[in-house]
Structure 1
Amino acid sequence: MLASKSIGAILVFYKTPLKQKKSAMKQLSKIADKNMLVCIDNTNNNQGYAYGVNKGIRKLQKQKPDLLIIANPDIHLHDITRSIIIDTAQYFDIFGFPFREKKQTYYSGVIDRLNMSGGFTQIREKKRYVKTDFVSGSLMCVKSKIFEKIGYFNTKYFMYYEDVEFCLRAKKNNKTVGIRTDVVYTHTSSSTVDKEYYLIRNRLLTLFRYGTFKQKLHELLALPKHCSINMNNTKLRAFKGFIYQLLLK
């Protein structure tokens, strides 16, 4: 029975204000089963968001929940309830919801067909359940059996694009990804040190792992242009970081 499904939840903190921690924990404790809310604090030993999420997943797997919620602490769930999450799990293996951020509402996660950059549509969806390329890692719901099939989040990404890569890997294994559009949460995105670096580096990692020959060729041909226009130390570091991670595998 769907109503009997167990739910675990993971929150990853990094220098998170106490008030924000309490708010996120209070919201998710109303959805997760008793003793199935795991908080991972990366403040003193920051090995990345993906590492923190994986640590939380492994802890919860001992209790064998049917569903896992992975969430940032800077969210407000509004009308997203336990029953809504359980109901949505009938339609997707991995799913999320539209979110408001800086007075804008974002819907479907879409991967650019040429350069594989990840972004979100801002056009209101007409259907309640919509398949997407990926869902935001700020609030992602995953059926636990998915991890047994495709593994955990890729820690090479550290932060940014780990949600994109995870969803791509799931879809390659014939898993469904989508959003439920009739409820919305708020995400208070804050500025992050080295955001540009990780966005550039991790997009390239994703492209060269999952992209077609045509996409990779396009990126290589565009490289001289990228290097000659608006090149800065951050972009240069990102290219070097990408090559380093590529050589590690």
Structure 2
Amino acid sequence: MDEKSVAIILLNWNAYNDTVECLHSLEKLVYQNFHVFLVDNDSKDQSYEKLRADQLSGTFSLPLTIIQSGSNMGCAGGNNVGMKAAYEQGYEYLWMLNNDTIVDQHSLTRLVEEMETDHQIGIVGSKIINMNNNLVWFAGGSINQYLGTSTPYGIDQEESEKFNTRKEVGFVVGCSMLFRRELIELIGWLNEDYFIYYEDTDWNLKAKKAGMKIVYVPDSLIYHKESSSTKSEELSPHYAYYLMRNGYLFVKRNNPKYKVIALLYMAYRIVKFHLLYVLNKDHKLKRSRMIFKGALHGLKNQIGQFSD
């Protein structure tokens, strides 16, 4: 296969060890025509300084550009920094990849091969396995435009043949999402208003509405640690806040005629999130306040990073 140029977009925020492991796994890729654009979102744990030192000492045997964003711009903002740098340099495909992943050596090859079969394919995504329990974490997914929710296929299920079929889907997660540069020209950059969560869902929906296909590629295998700054073992109160707010904003922006349905679902979610994220958790008052603030800020169109 004539290898098209691929920019791999990695975002780091206070996760030096995860990022180093991811970079070392990328060194083993069979696909060779790639360049990594690693964006640090103003980490406070010396990640950026340590990664730069590693690069200068020759720790990484791959083409690598490290960019300091200058502030915590969230997932959308940080990824946009890397995407813009790659786009300006003319890369044909861009691969958005979580830094807390380990990639199979054939993962990128399989994604590019799928892209090359049909120019109407705008986005392709991998099968993702949860490294914590070796269960499926993502095998494609669907979007409910009325409620502002997305449903991943296969989550927490054992691997089986039913997850091994290539198919068109409603969305693939930004954990491993390859797209062609033309998609940026067609639908623009990731929406930074979300800060974190829903920016990839929003982008997938825009691609679909623009007539592009989204395809799940099970032969592209990614292993994910499922750890993040807002979703920890105990679930940070911010996790429920962003889900509550951004789910409503997603509907209001993409299907405003369904705002009433989304509003009713928001009321249901307030109850549901209290059961999931407040009951039997610590800091109950703070968690409850964040749920209600997420709803209120969605109604008030208060966007970006959380602020009281």
Length-normalised TM-score, structure 2: 0.71
% identical equivalent positions: 22
Partners in 2 of 1:228 and 1:120 — Cα distance? 22
Query: CA shift at 1:114, angstroms?
Result: 4.3
1:151 and 2:188 correspond: yes
Whether the aligned pair in 1 keeps the contact of 2:170 and 2:204 (CA below 8 Å) is yes
Query: CA shift at 1:126, angstroms?
Result: 6.3
The structure with the larger Rg is 2
Partners in 2 of 1:212 and 1:244 — Cα distance? 15
- The residue aligned with 1:16 is 15
Partners in 2 of 1:246 and 1:163 — Cα distance? 19
Whether the aligned pair in 1 keeps the contact of 2:13 and 2:40 (CA below 8 Å) is yes
Please list the CA deviations of residues 64-100 of structure 1 after superposition, one character each: whole Å capped at 9, or x if unmatched.
1110011111111124344222201124210101111
Partners in 2 of 1:143 and 1:207 — Cα distance? 26
Query: CA shift at 1:32, angstroms?
Result: 6.0
- The residue aligned with 2:247 is 203
Partners in 2 of 1:221 and 1:8 — Cα distance? 41
Whether the aligned pair in 2 keeps the contact of 1:93 and 1:143 (CA below 8 Å) is yes
Given the alignment, which residue of 64, 70, 91 partners 2:90? 64
- The residue aligned with 1:37 is 36
Deviates more, 1:118-127 or 1:161-170: 118-127
- The residue aligned with 1:220 is 263
Partners in 1 of 2:141 and 2:101 — Cα distance? 18
- The residue aligned with 2:150 is 118
- The residue aligned with 1:243 is 299
Structure 2 vs 1, CA of residues 144 and 243 (structure 1 numbering), >3 Å: closer, same or farther? same
Query: CA shift at 1:15, angstroms?
Result: 0.2
- The residue aligned with 1:98 is 127
In structure 2, runs of 5+ residues without a counterpart are 45-70, 231-235, 279-287
In structure 1, runs of 5+ residues without a counterpart are none
Whether the aligned pair in 1 keeps the contact of 2:122 and 2:179 (CA below 8 Å) is yes
Letter in 2 for 1:118: S
Structure 2 vs 1, CA of residues 80 and 196 (structure 1 numbering), >3 Å: closer, same or farther? farther
> How many pairs align?
244
Partners in 1 of 2:83 and 2:106 — Cα distance? 22
Letter in 2 for 1:165: D
Partners in 2 of 1:87 and 1:131 — Cα distance? 15
Partners in 1 of 2:106 and 2:86 — Cα distance? 22
1:133 and 2:170 correspond: yes
- The residue aligned with 2:24 is 26
Query: CA shift at 1:116, angstroms?
Result: 2.7
Letter in 2 for 1:110: S
Secondary structure class of the residue paired with 2:219: coil
Please list the CA deviations of residues 31-74 of structure 1 after superposition, one character each: whole Å capped at 9, or x if unmatched.
4636x211100125211110011110111112211100111111
Secondary structure class of the residue paired with 1:60: helix
Whether the aligned pair in 1 keeps the contact of 2:3 and 2:33 (CA below 8 Å) is no
Letter in 1 for 2:75: Y
- The residue aligned with 2:2 is 3
Partners in 2 of 1:154 and 1:114 — Cα distance? 20
